[in-house]
Amino acid sequence: EVQLLESGGGLVQPGGSLTLSCAASGFTFSNYAMSWVRQTPGKGLEWVSTISGSAGSTYYADSVKGRFTVSRDNSKNTLYLQMNSLRAEDTAEYYCAKDPSYSGSYPTLDYWGQGTLVTVSS
């Protein structure tokens, strides 16, 4: 059974940093691309970033490019999202999601974690 478990969310001040983690199990982690998607009541679902199975390719939404960094440790079956220079508009529920492909070039999200809440506020 595929399981994805996010952690690391919380309250952070504007301009601060936070690192999210996603522990994966139930599949061969290194064979699949992984993505981060966030959700707010006002803006709905927003794709944030995708990383290929080998971590050779990464993709970012323009809204986070230069501030967020996606990475993965295939030896630990864990996906990360390093978030710097956080803004109020980054407040959202963040989900990690598995892609059925290795490359992630055409992101389809076949399994999702339960989400972790990030709140950016002073």
Tokens of 46: 């927003």
Cβ nearer to another protein, comparing 89 with 110: 110
> 106: Cβ–Cβ under 8 A, 6 or more apart, which residues?
none
Site for another protein contains 27 (CB under 8 A): no
Candidates 17-25, 26-34, 72-80, 99-107; binding stretch for another protein (CB under 8 A): 99-107
For another protein, which stretch binds (CB under 8 A), given 8-16, 24-32, 57-65, 84-92?
57-65
109 near another protein, rule: CB under 8 A: yes
C-beta separation of 9 from 20 below 8 A: yes
59 contributes a contact to another protein by CB under 8 A = yes
Check: CB of residue 103 under 8 Å from CB of residue 33: yes
Pick left, alpha or beta for residue 100 (phi over 0 → left; psi -120 to 50 → alpha; otherwise beta).
alpha
Q: Return the C-alpha torsion angle 103, 108, 112, 117, nearest 10.
A: 90
Establish if 22 lies at the interface with another protein (CB under 8 A): no
89 binds another protein per the rule CB under 8 A? no
| Of positions 3, 28, 54, 108, contacts another protein by CB under 8 A | 108
Give the interface with another protein as residue ranges (CB under 8 A).
Answer: 44-47, 59, 61-62, 95, 100, 106-115
